[in-house]
Amino acid sequence: MILVTGATGHLGANLVRALLAEGREVRVLLKGVAGPALDGLAVHRVPGDLRDPRAVEHAVTGCEEVYHCAARVSTGNGRKREIYDINVLGTHHVLAAARRAGVRRVVVTGSLSATGWRHGVPSTEEELFYPFGEHTPYTVSKVLMEHECAKAAARGLDVVVATSTAIIGPHDYRPSRMGRLLLDFSNGRLLAYVPGGFEFVSVTDLVAGHLLAMRRGAAGRKYQFSTRYHTVDEMLDLYAEVSGRPRPRLRVPSAVMAGIARVTAPVVSLLAPRHEPRLTPAAVGFLRSRRRADCSRAVKELGYRPTSVARAVEEAYACFARRGLIDVRHGAVPSRRRVRTPARPPAGRS
């Protein structure tokens, strides 16, 4: 039996499908209604909240492997208690329960934001995180989550961290930040954009990375997974080709948008505390940083082989279209041409 937390999220929904396709027996921990993410899937559903140690204990008991993918993702500065309780305490509960239950291995999903970086240098898993910068509550929570993994490993639990970059691909039911951007673009609602760049990972590649980490990873080790670095302009070109929509003409300088975000984000947080702005100061900062990730360790130690962001965009678009979330009445039609994939960088560097 395999437990997957966060099974209704973007990664979790794809991971569950991959495990079921392999003939594995899957249990999922669910808080509330699953929605369409698990429709028609033969999984064992266990109700419970990561913040409840007894519910987590019940879900973990009897499982040989655990994929802990659940997290409260945010680029804002609000909801700190919720982010900490889910991302840090929730992880602590999962790891403690797994150790008591004798789970063979736990793979925990990490974030590139919790990895240190230097401008212009691709980050490796060994890059030290600088704690005194301007970090979001989410980033801090993911750093503390890795500390929980290290503590659990010191106590004898076999745990591996699988670090994710910005995910793109199908079965994005909430949807994610990248999914909402693709929907806005395809439905003609994206009127402007901010230049920059980031590491993107096909959800298919990220699932493969998690499976490899479970089967081949070294205990206590951390592995980064990215498919490729793309600029925002390159990503919008992929969106344009797959959707038939033109790229927005208005390209707002990142410094200008950062100033706007700093002014508007606190107002939105005050007036609508449950709503997270699309472009927060941190989100703009991530794009401006143009962070790169070095995936050499995953390539060499796990046999990780990244595929194509372009293909992931096609699959994401097709999935949204099948669900009726893209308005095709105004010229947004699926491209019949395969999206061109830029030349792949040297092996080990995304």
**pLDDT score for 193:** 87
Count of Cβ atoms closer than 10 Å to residue 150 Cβ: 13
**Positions in the chain short of pLDDT 50:** 331-350
**pLDDT score for 303:** 97
Tell me 115's DSSP state: S
- Residue range 204-223, pLDDT digits in tens: 999 999 999 999 999 999 99
Q: What's phi and psi for 163, nearest 5 deg?
A: -85, 130
| CB neighbour burial string for 87-100, b if at least 16 within 10 angstroms, e if fewer | bbbbbbbbbbbbbe
Contacts of 4 (CB under 8 A, 6+ apart): 12, 15, 16, 19, 26, 27, 28, 29, 66, 67, 69
CA 336 from chain centre, in angstroms, equals 28
Reply yes or no on whether 138 is catalytic.
yes
| CB neighbour burial string for 24-50, b if at least 16 within 10 angstroms, e if fewer | eebbbbbbeebeebbeeeebeebebbb
**Whole-angstrom Cα distance, residue 34 to residue 38?**
6
Q: Would you call 85 exposed, middle or buried from its count of C-beta atoms within 10 A (0-12, 13-18, 19+)?
A: middle
Tell me 161's DSSP state: E
Is the bond into 306 cis (omega within 30 degrees of 0)? no
Contacts of 339 (CB under 8 A, 6+ apart): 238, 241, 242, 310, 311, 313, 314
Residue extents of the structural domains in the chain: 2-167+200-228+293-306
Q: Are 10 and 167 a contacting pair, CB within 8 Å? A: yes
* Domain covering 2-167+200-228+293-306 assigned CATH 3.30.70.270 in the classification: no
How many residues in total does the chain contain? 350
**pLDDT score for 338:** 46
Q: Which of 67, 84, 130, 138 is catalytic?
A: 138
